[in-house]
Amino acid sequence: MIRHAESVGNREYRIQGRADYLLSEQGVEQAHALGQFLVTQRPKPTHIYTSPLTRAVHTAEILRDYWATRESVAQVTLFPGLQEVKNGVLDGLTWAEAQAKYPELCAALVASTDWVPIPGAESLKACRDRADQVIQSLLETHQNRDCLWLVSHGGFLQYLVCALLGSDHTWGLSIPPTARFEFALEQNQWNTTSQNRHNALLWKIRCFNEVCHLKQPELQ
């Protein structure tokens, strides 16, 4: 699982949500840094899925091209389920713009840690249900030895990681651009009710929120 590289919206501190933005110049450099790193790893991706938002698609295409110059590799497939959390009326606004346009809503959002509904936005449960559906769909579609790359967004990856780990709670994570999470699992054992459900040899976290490929401070 990979977060897209820095976008113009990130650079402008916008609440991006489903608003569409290109990668920034630094974002392009970040994606290339990750591509250069991943091409040294094995196995190669057999399937590459990405959110259809431009910042994710461009990231996925840059990563794929590092493999495509060396050998046959999977095409980039758009997967709407990987889109960013929908922030409704706040999509695309900076916080200052949001406060000016929706002062009462913004005041309510900062007044409490309890969930406050935003007009047109996804609910917390809807986000988690979508993450659960993505994981279940991939488990039903793929087999052992398939190597999947999922390019998504910082907000939604929180739900996706917790869904894969089977956590009853959704844990908050600060996920930097191009951070990657790598998991290995035995697909044919996933639904087992035997002792193997608790066999750590079958489910492995190989890296978690890793950005070691961003060696140069200016890329972080």
Confidence class of residue 73 from pLDDT cuts 50, 70 and 90?
confident
pLDDT over threshold 60, residue 217: no
Q: Print burial letters for 91-122: b (CB count within 10 Å at least 16), e (below 16).
A: bbbeeeebeeebeebbeebeeeeeeeebeebb
Average model confidence (pLDDT) across the chain: 94
Residue 71: the pLDDT is: 66
* Percentage with pLDDT > 70 across the chain: 96
Tell me the C-alpha distance between 75 and 46, whole Å. 9
Give residue 69's pLDDT band: very low, low, confident or very high (50, 70, 90): low
Residue 103 has pLDDT above 90, yes or no: yes
Measured distance CA(45)–CA(50) in Å, rounded: 13
The beta-carbon contacts of 205-211 under 8 Å, at least 24 apart in sequence, are: 205/181, 206/182, 207/180, 207/181, 207/182, 208/181, 209/173, 209/175, 209/176, 209/179, 209/180, 209/181, 210/179, 210/180, 210/181, 210/182, 211/176, 211/178, 211/179, 211/180
pLDDT over 90 for what percent of the chain? 90
Q: What is the mean pLDDT of residues 21-31?
A: 97
Taking 90 as the threshold, does the pLDDT of residue 41 lie above it?
A: no
At CA 212, angle to CA 81 and CA 184, rounded to 5? Answer: 50
Considering its fold, how many domains does the chain have in total? Answer: 1
Residue 52 falls inside a structural domain? yes
- The partner residues of 5 in beta bridges, in order of sequence, read none
pLDDT of the residue at 220: 55
Whether the CA torsion 70, 4, 41, 197 is positive or negative: it is negative
Does a structural domain hold residue 192?
yes
Yes or no: say if 48 and 151 are a contact pair by the CB < 8 Å rule.
yes
Task: Give CA angle at 40 (39, 45), nearest 5°.
Answer: 45
Residue 165, domain extent: 2-86+122-219
Strand partners, 124: none
Mean of pLDDT values over 33-46: 89
- pLDDT over 90 (residue 72): no
Pairing of strands 14-15, 93-94: antiparallel
The SS3 of residue 14 is: strand
Question: For 110-160, what is each residue's pLDDT tens digit?
Answer: 999 999 999 999 999 999 999 999 999 999 999 999 999 999 999 999 999
- Residue 180's SS3 state is strand
Domain containing 7 — which CATH number? 3.40.50.1240
Residue at 151 is within a domain: yes
Model pLDDT, residue 36: 93
Residue 7 within any structural domain of the chain: yes
C-beta of residue 29 within 8 angstroms of C-beta of residue 219: yes
**Looking at the domain assignment, is residue 91 inside a domain?**
no
Q: 139 lies in a domain?
A: yes
Predicted local distance difference test score (pLDDT) of residue 33: 95
| Tokens representing residue 209 in the block | 């929120």
So what's the pLDDT on residue 100?
98
Residues 189-196, mean pLDDT to the nearest whole number: 94
In a domain, 111, yes or no: no
pLDDT at 81: 98
Closest to 205 in 3D by CA, of 185, 179, 177, 178: 185
Question: Is residue 99 included in any domain, yes or no?
Answer: no
User: Mutual orientation of helices 25-38 and 54-68 as an angle, nearest 10°?
Assistant: 40
